[in-house]
């Protein structure tokens, strides 16, 4: 009647993960292997794009730590506010929420600082600062 508990239902729906079929996982693993080969031969300007694609593939597989690592490398090479930026910000928020739930103050502070750095990247991109 009053909508009690609806917020919790919405939060649960947002955090639900999509299950990938074995074929989809195999295909993503092939994409990852190809991107890693391309990275070894790519110029620095192309590496940012390849790291972003690699990070997005890892994120789809549910390999969060590897996704974060690849997406961070992408942003180090080239600041952008595209899909990789948004995905990395989402992953940081997930890790921050998990740290808050676990009452881990040190990890919580770490991810809050990472989110602040992401906000600075957004400002720099908007202002055209490289």
Task: Give the domain CATH number at 106.
Answer: 1.25.40.10
Q: What are phi and psi of 74, to 5 degrees?
A: -60, -45
Task: Look at residue 2 in the predicted model and tell me its pLDDT.
Answer: 56
Confidence of residue 58 (pLDDT cuts 50, 70, 90): very high
Residue 108 tokens read as 């919580």
13: in domain:
no
Place of tokens 């300007």: 45
pLDDT for 23 beyond 70: yes
pLDDT digits (tens, 9 = 90+) for 87-122: 999 999 999 999 999 999 999 999 999 999 999 999
15: in domain:
no
């Amino acid at each position: 009647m009053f909508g009690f508990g609806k917020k919790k239902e919405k939060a649960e729906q947002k955090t639900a993960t999509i299950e990938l079929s074995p074929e989809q996982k195999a295909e993503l693993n092939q994409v990852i292997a190809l991107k890693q080969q391309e990275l070894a031969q790519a110029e620095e300007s192309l590496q940012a794009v390849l790291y972003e694609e690699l990070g997005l593939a890892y994120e789809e597989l549910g390999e969060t730590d590897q996704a974060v690592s690849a997406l961070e490398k992408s942003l180090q090479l080239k600041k952008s506010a595209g899909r990789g930026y948004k995905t990395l910000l989402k992953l940081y928020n997930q890790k921050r929420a998990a740290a808050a739930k676990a009452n881990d103050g040190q990890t919580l502070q770490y991810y809050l600082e990472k989110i602040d750095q992401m906000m600075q990247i957004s400002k720099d991109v908007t202002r055209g600062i490289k």
